[in-house]
Amino acid sequence: MAGVSGTTTPMILDVDTGIDDSLALLFACATPEIELVAVTCVGGNVPARQVEVNTRAVLELAGYGRVPVAHGALKPLHKKLQTAEDTHGPQGLGHAELPPPSRPLDARDAVDVIVEAARARPGEITLVTLGPLTNLALALEREPALPRLLRSWTLMGGAYGVPGNTTPTAEWNVFVDPDAASEAFAAWAVAREQDDAIALPLAMGLDVTEQARFLGEHLRHLALRAGARPAETEALAHEPALATGSVAADPLLRFVVDALRFYFEFHARYDGFYGAVVHDPFAVAATLDRSLVQTKPAFVEVETGRGPAHAMTVTDWRGLTGKPPNLDVAIGGDAQAFLRLLVGRIGGLAADRSGVAR
């Protein structure tokens, strides 16, 4: 992967595992440049208890069941939790079903995991948050020096120059807990006022992630990369995408098809195309390879009050506030390069696992 130079990046993923989080987990497991230190869970796409089950089950499917998975915040800082089963399915994994995970949760909670890892390995840990920022806000309360202790932070969240996907102005992850997002953005602003060597967080918002449209043809190529029989992959490029034959015989490949089929149906219903916007793995990939995105630093704060701008990521593109940037906002990206990478990595993981699974 370009921009990595053979090194590994110690990474903690903070997830609310629905469909695209599960793809991000599989992508991380399939990427040798990532040392997956731990995964922390937060309520968002589905309630936190379901997130924990989904996360452990997906990691076990990938052969990474020994990665510590920690429970996290059950609800936002001040709001009532809203979840998105209409988008991700009743259990958060679309039409897919996985065996119950065999390994227990880590004894620590998400805040312990994040803070302890950052203190033990200062300047090394990259945190990638793929859900609401509740766990991060609570970790900042525990350890205000976190922006200095982490190597970097990437968030999937926000809509900085485009409409929201939850309200006309708000993106889902920020909408679920705008108070946590506000606190996290403010913490980096304060930290950089004290030390401008602290890295600006990479903000992967809808401006870029909605360009990553995973279609049936991508699914077909993923199945081919995994070793499925070519004739049995043709149906994946059409509606409905069904796992049959050698596709269904591979547990990881079947999971990907069954999970994405629900996502495809959702987007066909609401967005007019049979495919899926795969926000979360794009955020993980761009964390490793910044050539996948173009960014622009900006000062961003979150509207936490009621009204039509609730949870809006208010972005000072013109510098009118006079405040220095606190986020490095992705404003463009090479979605096709990312999708090729995603297909190759997850398809390769399925191919590697199929001998064990069968």
CB 152 within 8 A of CB 121: no
- Side-chain half-sphere exposure of 9, counting CA atoms within 13 A: 26
Residue 300 backbone dihedrals phi, psi, to 5 degrees: -130, 135
State whether residue 134 is helix, strand or coil: helix
CB 125 within 8 A of CB 10: yes
Q: Is 279 a catalytic residue?
A: yes
Write down the catalytic residue from 71, 95, 279, 310: 279
Which amino acid, residue 130?
Answer: L
CB 263 within 8 A of CB 6: no
In degrees, to the nearest 5, what angle opens at C-alpha 296 toward C-alphas 319 and 162?
85
Q: Which helix (H) or strand (E) holds 127?
A: strand 126-129
Residue 299 CA from chain centroid, whole number:
23
The closest of 98, 136, 94, 82 to 114, measured between CA atoms, is 136
As a whole number of angstroms, the distance between CA 214 and CA 223 comes to: 13
Check residue 198 and report its DSSP letter.
S
State whether residue 299 is helix, strand or coil: strand
As a whole number of angstroms, the distance between CA 340 and CA 357 comes to: 25
Residue 33 backbone dihedrals phi, psi, to 5 degrees: -75, -5
Q: Which helix (H) or strand (E) holds 20?
A: helix 19-29
Write out the two tokens for 214: 């995973």
Task: State the angle between helix axes of 19-29 and 48-61 in degrees (0 to 180), rounded to the nearest 10.
Answer: 40
**Could you list the active site residues?**
279
